[in-house]
Amino acid sequence: AQSVTQLGSHVSVSEGALVLLRCNYSSSVPPYLFWYVQYPNQGLQLLLKYTSAATLVKGINGFEAEFKKSETSFHLTKPSAHMSDAAEYFCAVSLGGSQGNLIFGKGTKLSVKP
Amino acid sequence: ETGVTQTPRHLVMGMTNKKSLKCEQHLGHNAMYWYKQSAKKPLELMFVYNFKEQTENNSVPSRFSPECPNSSHLFLHLHTLQPEDSALYLCASSQDERVSNEQYFGPGTRLTVT
């Protein structure tokens, strides 16, 4: 069975610092991987997705993630945090097929200090 | 209106009440979803509709009853709810239910059961 683990329910960084949000998955076959962001009082929005093409995936708002099969990881990074990045971030994994197979992590809340 | 809209945004109901949540998407998508988002728990998929047919019911109690009259509208009918049903209910849509497609989320309905 597939599963996804997000390390750290809350991450705090200073404005301008590197953002690193961790996601590990368990899957017996190459998965589809996603990062979604949820701003306060809003629904989720797709940041980026990995679907077996390039292992380094670039998304919106300067975020990127690297698929590392050997580490079963798909960590999200951004070189320089902005105050507007404060939100909750969700990693999700699927083995394919329908959206019914999409499993979300518990989320990581990112705070950005001035 | 653009994207995915949900009404009402907030709902307080007693355990004996009957109410309905409404979701509408203006994206021309064919798949629609209901999710439950509770504090400190992963996002839980409740129902999936693809081309108006229900394709997924994740063991949701019968006090939640979905309805999809057409590809643009999705309802969640609620009756005799329990306090533990208090949560943010998110609607989403995608082109179809293939997992490679991006889901577009509405802002959610914050439900409180008293």
- CA-nearest of B2, B1, B8 to B89 is B8
Q: What is the pLDDT of residue B1?
A: 57
Q: Does B32 touch chain A (CB under 8 A)?
A: no
Q: Phi-psi region for residue A55, left (φ > 0), alpha (ψ -120 to 50) or beta?
A: alpha
Please state whether the peptide bond connecting residue B8 to the residue before it is cis, i.e. omega within 30 degrees of 0.
yes
Position B59 pLDDT exceeds 80 = yes
Contact A99/B101, CB-based, under 8 Å?
Answer: yes
CA angle A26, A29, A34 (to 5 degrees): 60
Interface of A with B in 10-69 (CB under 8 A): 32, 41-46, 49, 51
* pLDDT tens digits along B72-111: 999 999 999 999 999 999 999 999 888 778 899 999 999 9
pLDDT (average), residues B35-61: 89
Q: Which residues of A touch B103 (CB under 8 A)?
A: 44, 46, 99
Closest CA to A8 of A76, A61, A103: A76
Residue A30: its pLDDT value, please?
72
Highest mean pLDDT among B13-17, B19-23, B51-55: B19-23
**DSSP string for A11-80:** EEEETTSPEEEEEEEE-SSPPEEEEEEE-TTS-EEEEEEESSS-SEEE-GGG-EEEEETTTTEEEEEESS
In three-state secondary structure terms, B96 is coil
What integer pLDDT is reported at residue B42 of this predicted model?
Answer: 87
- pLDDT, residue A95, reads 73
Q: Spell out, as residue ranges, where chain A has pLDDT lower than 70.
A: 1, 99
What pLDDT does residue B45 have?
Answer: 92
pLDDT score at B41: 85
